[in-house]
Amino acid sequence: MTYCVAMKLDHGLVYLSDTRTNAGVDNISTVTKMRSWDVPGERTITLLSAGNLATTQAVVSWLDERNKTPGERAPSILAAPTMFEVARIVGDTLATEVAARSQTPGQTMDAAFAGTLILGGQIKGADPRLYLIYPEGNFIEATEDNPFFQIGEAKYGKPILIRAFEAAMDFRDAVRLMLVSMDSTVRANLSVAPPFNLRYVKDGEFTATHERRIEGDDPYFRTLSEGWGEALRKAIPTLPSYEG
Amino acid sequence: MTYCVAMKLDHGLVYLSDTRTNAGVDNISTVTKMRSWDVPGERTITLLSAGNLATTQAVVSWLDERNKTPGERAPSILAAPTMFEVARIVGDTLATEVAARSQTPGQTMDAAFAGTLILGGQIKGADPRLYLIYPEGNFIEATEDNPFFQIGEAKYGKPILIRAFEAAMDFRDAVRLMLVSMDSTVRANLSVAPPFNLRYVKDGEFTATHERRIEGDDPYFRTLSEGWGEALRKAIPTLPSYEG
């Protein structure tokens, strides 16, 4: 599996993804699930992927192919006039790729080829947008009521996001919260693991404001992980005791 | 779905289950997923169930039928000499019931009829035992390394259990921790909801030491839920800030 999370903050979009991919527990490897396309000053697009790796890599390859020769292989995400159009192109590419695999004779398990994507970005003249794209190619957009998306092993890390997310958080607070959510997931599920990819794009900057890979032995991540365990253990006794 | 959790503590077994059952989101109702059989001074057995309600109710009915006329309808869980035997009987009953449904012509989806159970109890002369019973009827036992079991929507509430469980906790601390785990689940997933059933059986007491139903508007649960949200929000800023 995978765990990716993306947040729509008041001042920009921030993304975090793990890198573990596995076919069974005895066949694991490290693959980046975050891809980005930036045109400085004009547009920035980031894609996070979960699900069948062959499918999601094929989607990225198709998007890249079309970017290289946009005239011949339209539609290109670098030519689309709006993020909505970009989402439509990516969703259609995904649905087409999944459908193509599922039509192979003898293959009936659509779900095995499915992929789910988070797409975020901004095109000059419009606000940043964040979308969740389903395997069928349709998508929903992040709103004030629904300001973050998770894909892959989303359940472990969801409660803390529900409780602590605030759209007004600065980028450092958002990263800390995302890493806590990631840490809860990593501790509970073997199929999610470091290194992690982190990317922040501030509203109006059409390239990464901050971008890096966080290794498993990263001192900050280690401190955060230990500190969070300690904080949870300390928080429980502050709650009123059960007197039933 | 469902969320049930049971812990093997140094001094006894404690169980918590929700009561929501649903066939789609537009057809929900309240059903107890906790059943118990106590023979004062001799044995205590508690069963938590998740999965197909028809299957798990049928299992309980079969167990009850055999208890009423154990001579004719052996094996009875009230006559079994050990908890291991009880687990075997319950597992066999579950597997038989699931298999029977799955053999109906035109039905091939075994998974749709599957149920998963947590079985705990004690028979005089032996220690308390806790088992997780799979839909296939086989089972594993709780050990020091694996001191609690969850069934149903287990992921949301797992991180806090991993971090804060201690076998030496007293029963009130265990209940508080379980309710925090339950609260994280309820907040994130519509298919888990109060009221909750709570039961604690102390080692050597062959009946419930403490047993009650906790309603959604229970003042303690409300306080805990709000306090936990507050504690989490406060805990995050105590962690070191991201400086990347």
B232 touches chain A (CB under 8 A): yes
Q: Which residues of A touch B224 (CB under 8 A)?
A: 239-240
Q: At A4, list the tokens.
A: 């990716």
Looking at residue A226, its pLDDT comes to 94
Looking at residue B1, its pLDDT comes to 80
What 3-state class would DSSP assign to A86?
Answer: helix
pLDDT band at A99 (very low <50, low <70, confident <90, very high): confident
Looking at residue B72, its pLDDT comes to 63
Q: At A49, list the tokens.
A: 């992927």
pTM, two decimal places:
0.88
Looking at residue A103, its pLDDT comes to 66
Phi-psi region of B121 (alpha: psi -120 to 50; beta: other; left: phi over 0): left
Q: Which of residues 3-32 of B touch A (CB under 8 A)?
A: none
A145 vs A8, A139, A149, A212, B230, CA distance in Å?
A: 11, 16, 11, 29, 20
CA distance B36 to chain A (A): 20
All domains in chain A, ordered by first residue: 3-236 (3.60.20.10)
CA distance A163 to chain B (A): 6
pLDDT tens, chain B, 244 aa long: 899 999 999 999 999 999 998 887 788 889 999 999 999 999 999 999 999 999 999 999 999 988 887 666 678 999 999 999 999 999 999 998 877 777 666 555 467 788 999 999 999 999 999 999 999 999 999 999 999 999 999 999 999 999 999 999 999 999 999 999 999 999 999 899 999 999 999 999 999 999 999 999 999 999 999 999 999 999 999 999 998 7
Looking at residue B22, its pLDDT comes to 85
Mean pLDDT of A30-53: 95
Which residue, among A155, A165, A198, would best test binding to B if mutated, counting the most B CBs under 10 Å from its CB? A155
Instruction: Write the secondary structure of chain B as one string of H (helix), E (strand) and C (coil).
Output: CCEEEEEEECCEEEEEECCEEECCCCCEEECCCEEEEEECCCEEEEEEEEECHHHHHHHHHHHHHHHHCCCCCCCCCCCCCCHHHHHHHHHHHHHHHHHHHHCCCCCCCHHHHCEEEEEEEEECCCCCEEEEECCCCCEEECECCECEEEEECCCCCHHHHHHHCCCCCCHHHHHHHHHHHHHHHHHHCCCCCCCEEEEEEECCCCCCCEEEEECCCCHHHHHHHHHHHHHHHHHHHHCCCCCC
Q: Tell me how far apart the alpha carbons of residues A165 and A146 are, in angstroms, rounded to a whole number.
A: 11
Looking at residue B71, its pLDDT comes to 67
Nearest Cβ partner for B242 among A164, A175, A240: A175
Q: Which residues of B touch A173 (CB under 8 A)?
A: 236-237, 241-242
Q: Which of A69-73, A90-94, B67-71 has the lowest mean pLDDT?
A: A69-73
Contact B177, B165 (CB under 8 A): yes
Phi-psi region of A194 (alpha: psi -120 to 50; beta: other; left: phi over 0): beta
Q: Which of residues 145-184 of A touch B (CB under 8 A)?
A: 153, 155-160, 162-164, 172-173, 175-177, 179-180, 184
Query: Which tens digits make up the pLDDT trace of A2-41?
Result: 999 999 999 999 999 999 988 877 888 899 999 999 999 9
A232 touches chain B (CB under 8 A): yes
Contact B235 A235 (CB under 8 A): yes
Q: Tell me how far apart the alpha carbons of residues B1 and B26 are, in angstroms, rounded to a whole number.
A: 13
Q: At B98, list the tokens.
A: 């699931």
Looking at residue A70, its pLDDT comes to 61
Looking at residue B108, its pLDDT comes to 53
What average pLDDT does chain A have? Answer: 92
CA distance A103 to chain B (A): 22
User: What is the sign, positive or negative, of the torsion defined by CA atoms of B37, B40, B44, B48?
Assistant: positive
Q: Which of residues 211-230 of B touch A (CB under 8 A)?
A: 212, 214, 220, 223-224, 227-229
Which of these, A243, A165, A234, A159, lies nearest to B221 by C-alpha position? A243
Looking at per-residue confidence, does A199 or A113 come out higher? A199
Query: Which tens digits make up the pLDDT trace of A149-199?
Result: 999 999 999 999 999 999 999 999 999 999 999 999 999 998 999 999 999
